[in-house]
Homo-oligomer: A and B are copies of this chain.
Amino acid sequence: MTADQSVSLQSQVVFNSDGLVPVIAQQYDTGEVLMLAWMNSEALRRTIDTGRATYWSRSRGEYWRKGDTSGHTQSVRAVRLDCDGDALLLEVDQVGPACHNGLRSCFDTLVVQLTPSPSQQAGGHK
């Protein structure tokens, strides 16, 4: 990554009225979605500068470098900005569980399977 690329990315992020942007963390090789958290401009700068995912904790009102307490760090391989500029996707290498409850993904807690309708099962939705 060049400094120019970093500046370009950061200048294109559309932060919300609280100065935050939602960030998805995805395991870079398996594709598993691990968590969704939030960054402000400074958290994004620290993430890009250090390669360690750093978020803004809305509940605690402080920066939160993933893994500093738990050891479950996220090394960032790539940062992707969406087409509207208002969401980020991090490709990370997650050490251990991403979730504070000890599960690999924060999305492993509650899963509802939907049953395809007959038309969907027959490929009718395509």
Q: Which residues of A contact B (CB under 8 A)?
A: 1, 5-6, 8-9, 12, 22, 24, 26, 30-33, 35-36, 48, 51-52, 73, 75-84, 87, 89, 93, 95, 99-101, 103, 106-117, 120, 125-126
When distances are taken between beta carbons in the complex, the residues of chain B under 8 Å from A103 are: 83
CB-based contact A112/B9 at 8 Å? yes
Q: How many angstroms between the C-alpha atoms of A107 and B89 in the bound complex?
A: 7
- B112 and A79 within 8 A (CB): yes
Beyond known contacts A9-B110, A77-B114, A83-B100: 10 more, CB 8 A cutoff: A5-B112, A24-B33, A73-B125, A75-B120, A76-B114, A79-B114, A80-B107, A80-B108, A83-B109, A87-B107
User: In whole Å, how far is A101's beta carbon from the nearest beta carbon of chain B?
Assistant: 6
| B75→A115 contact, CB < 8 A | no
Residue of B with least CB distance to A117: B51
Given contacts A36-B22, A73-B125, contact A6 B83 (CB under 8 A): no
Contact A112-B48, Cβ < 8 Å, known A22-B22, A101-B83, A107-B89: yes
Q: Are B33 and A126 in contact (CB under 8 A)?
A: no
7 tightest A-B CB contacts, nearest first: A31-B31, A36-B87, A80-B107, A82-B106, A81-B110, A89-B107, A83-B106
